[in-house]
Chain A
Amino acid sequence: MSNTIDNTLVVEGLSGGYDRFDVIHDIAFRVGRGEAVALLGPNGAGKSTVLRAITGLLKHRRGTVTIDGTNVVGMGPHQISRGLAAMVPEGRRLFVGQSVEDNLRLGGMRLRKDRARTDQLLQSVYDLFPVVERYKAREATALSGGEQQMVAIGRMMMSDPSLMLLDEPSLGLAPLAIADLITALQQLRERKSSILLVEQRVDIALEVCDRIYVLSEGRIVDEGRASDIGTEGRALIDAYLG
Chain B
Amino acid sequence: MLQVLLSGLTVGTIYGLVAMAFAVVFYVTKVVNFATGQLLMVSILLTAGLVRLGLPDWLGVGIALIASTVLGVIIYFVAVRPVLKFDRFSFAWLVSTLGIAIVIQATFAIIFGPASQPFPRGLHQIPVHLPGATLTVQEILTLVVGALAVLGWELVRRKTLVGKLGMAISTDPEIASTFGANVTAYAVGAFAIGGFLAGLAGILVGPITYGNPYLGDTYGISGFIALMIGGIQRPAAAMGGGLILGVLSIAANSYIGAQASDWFPFVLVLLVLLLAPNGVFASGDSLRKLFRRRSSLTVGGRA
Contacts and interface: CB of A to CB of B under 8 A. Distances in A.
Contacts of B285: none
Interface string A109-125: 11010000000000000
Given A95-B168, A98-B167, A98-B168, A105 B161 contact: yes
B164 A159 contact: no
Given A97-B167, A98-B164, A57 B177 contact: yes
B172 A81 contact: no
Given A86-B179, A106-B161, A107-B179, 6 more contacts: A57-B177, A77-B178, A78-B183, A93-B175, A96-B172, A98-B167
18 contacts: A56-B178, A57-B174, A76-B177, A77-B174, A78-B182, A81-B177, A81-B180, A82-B180, A89-B175, A89-B178, A96-B172, A98-B164, A106-B161, A106-B168, A109-B179, A110-B180, A112-B161, A159-B179
Interface of B: 161, 164-165, 167-168, 171-172, 174-183
A57 B178 contact: yes
A86 B180 CA distance: 10
A78 B161 contact: no
A81 B171 contact: no
A95 B180 contact: no
A78 B168 contact: no
B179 A155 contact: yes
Most buried by A among B165, B168, B181: B168
Looking at chain B's contact residues, is the secondary structure mostly helix, strand, loop, or mixed? Answer: helix
A86 B178 contact: yes
B172 A93 contact: yes
A102 interface: yes
Contacts of B178: 55-57, 77-78, 80-81, 86-87, 89
Contacts of A98: 164, 167-168
The 4 closest A-B pairs by CB, nearest first: A77-B177, A81-B180, A95-B168, A110-B180
B181 A95 contact: no
Contacts of B175: 89, 93, 95
Given A106-B168, A109-B181, A95 B176 contact: yes
A184 to B, nearest CB: 20
A56 B175 CA distance: 11
Most buried by B among A56, A81, A95, A110: A95
Given A95-B171, A95-B172, A78 B177 contact: yes
A87 B178 CA distance: 8
A159 B180 contact: yes
Contact of B171 (A77, A82, A97, A109): A97
A104 to B, nearest CB: 11
A106 B161 CA distance: 8
Nearest to A80: B178
A96 B234 CA distance: 14
Contacts of B174: 57, 77
B284 to A, nearest CB: 13
A82 B181 CA distance: 10
Contact of B165 (A109, A155, A159): A109
A138 to B, nearest CB: 16
Nearest to A107: B179
Contacts of A82: 180
Contacts of B161: 105-106, 109, 112
Nearest to A152: B175
A102 B179 contact: no
Nearest to A93: B175
Nearest to A55: B178
Contacts of A112: 161
Interface in A80-94: 80-82, 86-87, 89, 93
A183 B167 CA distance: 32
Contacts of A89: 175, 178
B171 A78 contact: no
Nearest to B85: A59
Contacts of B177: 56-57, 76-78, 81
B171 A96 contact: yes
A57 B175 CA distance: 9
Contacts of B181: 78, 109
B152 to A, nearest CB: 19
Contacts of A97: 167, 171
A86 to B, nearest CB: 7
B162 to A, nearest CB: 10
Contacts of A106: 161, 164-165, 168, 176, 179
A102 B175 CA distance: 15
Nearest to B161: A112
Contacts of B172: 93, 95-96
Contacts of B164: 95, 98, 102, 105-106
Contacts of A56: 177-178
